[in-house]
Amino acid sequence: MGHATDQYPPPPTGEFSDNDFMNLTAEEKGTLQTVERVGASLSLVGVCLIFITFALFKRLRTVPNTFILFASISNVGASVACLIGFRGLNAGEGSALCQIQGFLLEMFMQSDPWWSLAMAVNVYMVFFLAANPVSFRKYLWVYCIICFGVPALPAVILLVVRPSKNGQIYGNATVSFPSHNSCRI
């Protein structure tokens, strides 16, 4: 498959500067930020429409739409993290903005697939086990604990744990820090 020459260069060591940031030009960084923010903004507009229609039209408050509503909450958190863009890193890895952005990405990017899994399990139960979809509503609290709680555990732990004197785990994901490799997904 690959040869030794095809491998990635070794990760940088020590402090990094803005110039080390994926070796992108200022124009390329600006383009990435624009695309990321446009996508996040469109996502937030879509989520707002979901919230508004769910609130205004009682007929749409079905069990499947309730699950979509909760998945949309995850999309809000992930979209806010994407709107922050490079500002989190530019504020410094130890800054509250950078740490919150890391938390939002860890928590809500992981929560959304859990809600998709919950919806898939529900579909399976309805079609193959003849479960009544209305019965899922009384277990919504269990779904919330699993779909929000499971991603919250590592997100909170990685926010609170300080493996070294000045070391946060959340930081620049484009620069490899060998001391935190065990925490990477």
Domains of the chain, residue spans: 24-183
From the list 65, 175, 154, the residue with the least C-alpha distance to 109 is 154
* pLDDT score recorded for residue 77: 95
Residue 181: pLDDT band by 50, 70, 90 thresholds? Answer: low
d(CA 107, CA 151): 5
Q: For residue 17, is it left (φ>0), alpha (ψ between -120 and 50) or beta? A: beta
* pLDDT score recorded for residue 168: 76
**pLDDT 10s digits, 122-170:** 999 999 999 998 899 999 999 999 999 999 999 998 888 877 766 777 7
The hierarchical CATH code for the domain 24-183 is 1.20.1070.10
Say what the pTM is.
0.75
Exposure of 101 by Cβ count < 10 A (0-12 exposed, 13-18 middle, 19+ buried)?
buried
**pLDDT 10s digits, 11-54:** 444 444 544 546 778 898 889 889 999 999 999 999 999 999 99
Q: Are 108 and 141 within 8 A, CB to CB?
A: no
**pLDDT 10s digits, 71-80:** 999 999 999 9
Output the CA torsion sign for 174, 149, 71, 114.
Answer: positive
Span 52-76, average pLDDT = 95
Span 49-63, average pLDDT = 95
d(CA 67, CA 95): 34
